[in-house]
Amino acid sequence: MGLENKIFESLPDVLTVKLDAVVNWARKSSLWPATFGLACCAIEMMNTVSARNDLSRFGAETFRASPRQADVMIVSGRVSRKMAPVLRRIYDQMPEPKWVISMGACATSGGVFDNYAIVQGVDKVVPVDIYVPGCPPRPEMLVHAITMLQDKIMKESVKDRTDTIEAESRGSIVPGTLPVTEGTALEAETEVEVAQKNISRPYTIPSRHERRRSF
Amino acid sequence: MTEKLHEFVETLKSANPEWVGDVKDALGEVTVTVPREHIFAACEFLRDSLGFDMLADLCGGDRGPEEDPRFEVNYHLFSTTHHRRLRLKVLLSEDDPKVESVTPLWKTADWHERETYDLVGVVFENHPDLRRILLPSDFDGHALRKDYPLRGYEPYSMN
């Protein structure tokens, strides 16, 4: 009785579907992970894309060396405090839509490395979509995580993904890992205030592309 | 096995007796404790006159806060002509952990001394660029000191 019936009468070859479903289907069927191996979990990640556990069966085998061409970041391994700003910068360089898989105990919680050098969970630096337990997780678990992420993507809406400063990035700054800002505590400002001030992300150097945009 | 090395030490001592403090011979290795104000001159003599042309390693150590002198800096010298190794040791007190840099003698000492400064907190005077090399630049404290807490100080500590 709706529009689709009218279209079906006049154009019988046309199939109507929700826009979200089409876009999400396209997104989930071609996930391009960024190459970001940090420790021994990376060996399992490499194994996941190689012949035995062929990740291309699920459309996510195209690992990209450039974050600008990737939309999934698989944080595989322990993130040191010195690496955390680098990781955040790579995350910021990835275009929307983007997702993060925290692979292994170290990336998820610091693992056995409960010390001054290791970030106790990468979710303090970037928002994480899927956590994979294990030390290291088997390739099957990473494949499972990818398929879980695909299910998650199918539940998203196109409206969820906007190419603005992420709200969650405000609260996820690791103390002490950042280049020194003006000395004012970022936590004191709400994300709205930060957005109003239109300042760029203080802990990354804006890329040429971002500078040109100069929002 | 270490006779040749003891010859070198004797030559060093005859050049300036003040350079050589305690001499230890253990496990086929000879360790010479050098007073810290003489370390540069002793290294220069060993390099130029005795053929110890390579600084294989330079590392710091913390003996613990209860010890005095608390810190030590070890210089592992290697002679490519004699094929011998010699270790120099400088002991430093906690109040004044400073020693002359040997970067003018061996370029490789640059990063080694930066690492020692970074992790143990020994200050190398006349170093061209003494800043942290391994830890983040805004790190508080020196991580390999015995009294450094495992989880670090705030704001590094997440707990």
Instruction: Say if B150 is an interface residue toward chain A (CB within 8 Å).
Output: yes
- pLDDT above 50 for B157: no
Q: What is the pLDDT of residues B87-128, one digit of tens each?
A: 999 999 888 888 999 999 999 999 999 999 999 989 998 888
At A51-65, the pLDDT tens digits run 998 988 988 888 888
Residue A86 forms part of a structural domain: yes
Q: Are residues A44 and A116 in the same domain?
A: yes
> What pLDDT shows up at residue A179?
46
Q: How much is the pLDDT for B73?
A: 93
Pick from B34, B30, B40, B37: nearest CA to B13: B34
Give residue B142's identity as a one-letter amino acid code. Answer: H
Mind telling me how many Å the CA of B20 is from chain A's nearest CA? 39
Beta carbons within 8 Å of A169's beta carbon, 6+ residues apart: A92, A126, A127, A201
User: Does residue A185 register a pLDDT over 70?
Assistant: no
Q: Are A188 and A136 contained in the same domain?
A: no
Could you tell me the CA-to-CA distances from B92 to B63, B68, B124 in Å, in that order? 10, 8, 12
Residue A146 lies in a domain: yes
Closest CA to B117 of B65, B56, B71: B71
Co-location of A53 and A119 in the same domain? yes
Report yes or no on A212 lying in a domain.
no
* Interface touch A82/B135, C-beta < 8 Å: yes
Report the C-alpha dihedral over residues B91, B92, B98, B101, rounded to 10 degrees: 10
3-state DSSP of B43-107 = HHHHHHCCCCCEEEEEEEEECCCCCCCCEEEEEEEEECCCCEEEEEEEEECCCCCEEECCCCCCC
Cα A109 to Cα B148: distance, rounded to the nearest angstrom:
22
For the domain spanning B3-96, the CATH number is: 3.30.460.80
pLDDT in tens, A11-22: 777 777 788 888
Does the pLDDT of residue A170 top 60, yes or no?
A: no
Average pLDDT over residues B64-68: 85
CB atoms within 10 A of CB A183: 5
Q: Which of A48-57, A206-215, B81-90 has the lowest mean pLDDT?
A: A206-215
Q: Assess whether A12 and A53 both reside in one domain.
A: yes
Q: Is A215 part of any domain?
A: no
Kindly state whether residues A44 and A136 are assigned to the same domain: yes
CB atoms within 10 A of CB A60: 25
Looking at chain A from residue 107 to 126, which residues have their Cβ under 8 Å from any Cβ of chain B?
Answer: 114-117, 119-120, 124
Per the omega criterion (within 30 degrees of 0), is the bond before B17 cis?
no
Co-location of A87 and A136 in the same domain = yes
Closest CB to B138: pick one of A117, A124, A176: A176
Structural domain count, chain A: 2
Position B55 scores a pLDDT of: 92
For residue A67, which of A204, A194, A198, A171 has the smallest C-alpha distance? A204
Q: Any idea what DSSP says for residue A202?
A: T
For position A208, what pLDDT does the model report?
46
CB proximity list for B96: less than 8 A, separation 6 or greater: none
Average pLDDT for chain A = 77
Q: Which of A87, A108, A116, A177 to probe by mutation at the B interface, max B CB count within 10 Å?
A: A116
Indicate if A125 and A21 belong to the same structural domain. yes
Domain residue ranges in chain B: 3-96
pLDDT surpassing 50 at residue A176: no
Asked if residue A173 and residue A102 are part of one domain, the reply reads no
pLDDT at residue number B78: 92
Do both A40 and A104 map to the same domain? yes
* Residue A175 pLDDT > 60: no
pLDDT score for B149:
82
Which CATH number is A126's domain given?
3.40.50.12280
| A15 part of contact set with chain B, CB < 8 Å | no
Domain that holds residue A173: 166-207
Residue B4 pLDDT > 90: no
The mean per-residue pLDDT over the stretch A31-46 comes to 89
Q: Is the pTM of this model over 0.90?
A: no
| pLDDT range class, residue A1, cuts 50, 70, 90 | low
List Cβ neighbours of A212 (8 Å cut-off, separation of 6 or more). Answer: none
Q: How many CB atoms lie within 10 A of CB A148?
A: 15
Give the pLDDT of residue A165: 52
Query: Which tokens is A4 given?
Result: 């689709």
